[in-house]
Structure 1
């Protein structure tokens, strides 16, 4: 069998640290469970979904004779990491696509890292069942501590044959066969939020779904207080786009940019803005890498406190740095975060003078003024 060095894979441009890894035992198990199917597949018949940094895609290409793999990663940061790792290892033969018909038509083997949320799994499984070849086999794996019986139940809505493998190195793979396409798609979901007077539209992987999360609610209380002279604003990590949409509706003089690494979040934000007849610009990006320095007067941020399934402050710190870079001198970063997190010193160091605007046992809202 050809050799492939998984230890050479990196997470970059995602956060890197000694306790964060670009692959794990579940990647190996998925590839091993799918080995016979991968070798039998013709070029173009293999699809990889949810590959975190490239281990599944590059492993299938290098070790199992797969060719012309189609991939979908919700995270743009992960997509960039896959490209970087492919260049570093010299392994080629894949293309990245949106979740949908072009990704899955004619596919007979689907390798998948289990997503964190059941909603994301439901939309992915529904899409596979609708567009893949009727003979498709899905190999969906993950670490045991992050898997549940409910995942089998979700897959069972869309496949007639769902079976779990034996566990190995604290990982497991679920095989799903016999796709049962839904007559109508359940995604995206749409709801009207009476307290905001806004529609929200959410794809499965979008944070908080078709609801108003508590952190966003706290930031929304302060829209009228935010930099009164601002003409350009950024909703960094926009989720379903409620902050960007509410800001654009409340302050129509603002040019609002909403950005997120998640393809589902970007699609949700576009749909939310359209549902509310609000004009904003929406971009999928790794942080704000596509934006020039000193281009914004106002940035709103409800940062994640984890990377993947690991609690880690590095993601928030990286977003603070991005906000500081794009803010004009005197511009404001409004941040909401869990009150037990000690972000204020970091905000002062990275962005500038920072004051607490409000605090509850659950959430703290601060405003930082860029130097």
Structure 2
């Protein structure tokens, strides 16, 4: 299979952003003998970014017979699911795999029951790795083998420790093209705290719940904390609001707690974020007033439908510092804001998003600024 032909779309595409890297190829090489002769229904792929692992594994095991189970795939990012589907269609593959949730909320064994080979792109978060490893150890077959790979610059000895808490054997591959694979086997149940983890922030009168892959975990990152102090000023007469890129749902929950007149929608492309935001809303007693959906930006929302959008945009695309995600979210907000609607945004001051916000959304004023962050309000022109 020509992995170089795969695209990142609908994720951000640029000359320095790639759909496949050496760690994908090394995982596949290390797992080659294990995949041979293994039915597709016993293969699970976790963390596949744009489809390289799934499509190559499917080629290795062969298309399942009609009615047989295909490869099960879990990708935290919705853009990853969409890219996998698009790449499969471009290659003429219309069967043989299906996307499945990690199972943190419902049907916890659906992804991993019966699994004997797991291909895993190592997450950068140790908490995410812990939750994934615990799920594999709990639900996969006793003879399961996990091929977990990544770029060496993003791997730490602590990853070995986390895997060692859930597996009795861990073998480490030789480094190739600055990548390495950890091979975990002999799963066992570990006495670790269940997910999601919760943390009560008494100063904010807010409980935050977080699954492993959620940004900042159950803490409150300093940018969000800065914006929380100004939410009461945001479009006071608004009756509806959207927390775009909601993460653990802190802004959405705070809006619902302190502004009971608001109907709040929280949206994120991360499955872990969506599960976390629902748990955060529930922990604070506002589940009935905070609707959480998984979406690629605001793709599912109608034009000119929102009075207020709040946003703490990421400034990384994967491991690469890149403005593309923020600009994409600004464009989504501009489309969905009603005339006179406002986008309230907090961003690292050095990124200088002011001109982009004015160009994409509309007139933009500074609300507050501290040593690191700037809060702006951008109004959609009538």
The verdict on a shared fold, with TM-score over 0.5 as the criterion, is yes
Q: Which residue of 1 aligns with 2:145?
A: 137
Alpha-carbon separation, structure 1, partners of 2:36 and 2:56: 12
Distance 1:317 1:42 in 2: 43
Shift of 1:182: 3.0
Per-residue deviation, 1:43: 3.0
TM-score (norm 1): 0.97
Q: CA deviation at 1:249?
A: 1.1
Q: Gaps spanning 5+ residues in structure 1: where? A: none
CA distance in 1, matches of 2:117, 2:40: 11
Displacement of 1:32 in angstroms is 0.6
Indicate yes or no: 2:89 matched with 1:79.
Answer: no
Q: What's the secondary structure of 2:110's corresponding residue? A: helix
Q: Number of aligned pairs?
A: 368
Q: What is the DSSP-based 3-state SS (H/G/I as helix, E as strand, rest coil) of the residue aligned with 1:34?
A: helix
CA distance in 2, matches of 1:181, 1:131: 10
Residue of structure 2 in register with 1:25 after alignment: 22
Partner deviation per Cα, 1:160-215 (whole Å, 9 max, x = no partner)? 10111001111110000000123565211011110111111100001111111101
The partner residue of 1:97 within 95, 100, 105 is 100
Equivalent in 234, 243, 254 of residue 251 of structure 2: 243
Matched residue SS, 1:207: coil
Is the CA contact (8 Å cut-off) linking 1:130 and 1:182 kept in structure 2?
no
Cα distance in 1 for residues equivalent to 2:21 and 2:88: 18
The residue that corresponds to 1:180 in the other structure is 188
| Secondary structure of residue in 1 paired with 2:90 | helix
The alpha-carbon deviation at position 360 of structure 1 amounts to 1.2
Q: Give the equivalent residue in structure 2 for 1:162.
A: 170
- Partners of 2:204 and 2:375 in 1: how far apart? 19
Counterpart residue number, 1:44? 41
Counterpart in the other structure of 1:306: 316
Dislocated runs of 4+, deviation >6 Å = none
Once residues 137 and 40 of structure 1 are traced to their aligned partners in structure 2, the CA distance between those partners, rounded to angstroms, is 14
Shift of 1:63: 3.6
Unaligned stretches of 5+ residues in structure 2? 65-69, 104-108
Instruction: Map Cα deviations across residues 75-133 of structure 1 (whole Å, 9 max, x no partner).
Output: 01111111111111112310001103100000000001010111101100111110000
Q: CA deviation at 1:7?
A: 1.7
TM-score w.r.t. structure 2 length?
A: 0.95
Q: Which of 59-68 and 256-265 deviates more?
A: 59-68
Aligned partner (choices 311, 327, 330) of residue 320 of structure 1: 330
Out of 197, 200, 205, which is 1:192 matched to?
A: 200
Moved more, 90-99 or 342-351: 90-99
Instruction: Give the corresponding residue for 1:367.
Output: 377
Alignment RMSD, CA only? 1.1
